[in-house]
């Protein structure tokens, strides 16, 4: 796939601030594209947040992407950073449960976290809906790598984390890092240094793929070429970043085969990888396993990979 022609959407006056600090927390929110959003159509911003009993709140109709920065304390900073992609089937973003809550857990460990508020695919706001979220993640990787010195980050220790469809986005960045869909005159590396994939959508093939995420990203009648391109298990090679995957074998929303196929592809290409599968637990681990349990598995893998050292 080739990058599409880039069109720019002027940011609203309030959103064009360099950053917004709020709630008195060590958090800063930055517009992802201060000079204009690529692959965008002029359209009204209809973003809204709705309360949800299970996950606190959910964002819909995201059209103005941003990143929320959670800096690790200076005296504990390891130099490692994680860009977090919330899930929501490419239809919504679970920005608290799969975003800010996880970010704060990372900062306690000395890891700087960046929550990506990526655009949700929609022909109303995008010229090419299929690449919009990937553009935003590539831009986030570029931004964090170029600001690494300012944010006490090692530019070679920047990973991505994704939940469900956010896991698909993170895996897409890892397997398609050579395909740049953003302007990158500095030729900054868009390759994540590692991936943490939580009950991820990996494949868009009919046999195991999540058709809801596929339809939201590619449309109701995607072509075979598109489905193959975004089936990330088919694009693993020796340069794919190391990855840790965690899934439930009882997941009835996103089949565990997504993680199994990706793990097998990584192993085939001798990419360092870890996988943990729980016998029980629903999609999103809403009730089980506990946060400390599955998050602890991620942390242990990061320790094994030498990413928790100061």
- What are the boundaries of each domain within the chain? 18-304
Q: Mean per-residue pLDDT for 154-172?
A: 98
- What is the per-residue pLDDT across 232-245, written as a single tens digit (0 to 9) for each? 999 999 999 999 99
Q: Which pLDDT score is estimated for 13?
A: 31
Q: What is the rounded average pLDDT for all residues in the chain?
A: 92
d(CA 167, CA 100): 16
pLDDT classification of 5: cutoffs 50, 70, 90? very low
Q: Mean per-residue pLDDT for 283-307?
A: 97
Q: Mean per-residue pLDDT for 143-165?
A: 98
- Specify the fold of 18-304: Rossmann fold (3.40.50)
- Three-point CA angle 58, 59, 61, nearest 5°: 145
Q: Mean per-residue pLDDT for 1-25?
A: 40
- What is the per-residue pLDDT across 40-49, written as a single tens digit (0 to 9) for each? 999 999 999 9
Q: Mean per-residue pLDDT for 252-261?
A: 98
d(CA 92, CA 49): 9
Q: Which pLDDT score is estimated for 27?
A: 82
Predicted TM-score (pTM) of this structure: 0.92
């Amino acid at each position: 796939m080739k990058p599409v022609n880039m069109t720019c959407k002027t940011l609203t006056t309030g959103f064009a601030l360099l950053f917004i600090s709020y709630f008195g927390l060590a958090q800063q929110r930055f517009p992802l594209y201060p000079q204009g959003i690529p692959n965008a159509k002029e359209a009204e911003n209809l973003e809204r947040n709705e309360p949800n009993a299970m996950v606190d709140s959910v964002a819909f109709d995201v059209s103005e992407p941003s990143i929320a920065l959670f800096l690790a304390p200076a005296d504990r900073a390891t130099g490692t950073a994680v860009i977090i992609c919330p899930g929501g089937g490419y239809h919504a973003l679970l920005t608290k449960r799969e975003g800010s809550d996880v970010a704060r857990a990372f900062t306690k460990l000395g890891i700087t976290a960046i929550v990506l508020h990526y655009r949700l695919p929609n022909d109303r706001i995008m010229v090419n809906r299929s690449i919009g979220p990937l553009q935003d993640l590539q831009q986030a990787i570029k931004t964090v790598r170029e600001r690494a010195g300012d944010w006490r980050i090692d530019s070679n220790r920047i990973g991505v984390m994704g939940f469900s469809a956010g896991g698909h986005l993170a895996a897409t960045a890892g397997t398609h890092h050579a395909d740049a869909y953003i302007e990158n005159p500095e030729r900054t590396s868009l390759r994540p240094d590692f991936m943490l994939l939580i009950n991820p959508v990996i494949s868009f093939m009919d046999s195991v793929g999540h058709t809801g995420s596929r339809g939201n990203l590619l449309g109701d009648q995607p072509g075979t070429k598109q489905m193959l391109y975004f089936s990330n298990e088919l694009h693993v090679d020796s340069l794919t970043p190391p990855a840790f995957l965690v899934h439930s074998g009882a997941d009835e929303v996103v089949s565990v085969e997504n993680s199994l196929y990706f793990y097998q592809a990584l192993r085939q290409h001798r990419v360092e990888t870890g996988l943990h599968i729980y016998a029980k637990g629903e999609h999103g681990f809403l009730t089980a396993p506990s946060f400390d349990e599955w998050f602890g598995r991620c942390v242990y893998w990061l320790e094994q990979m030498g990413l928790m050292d100061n």
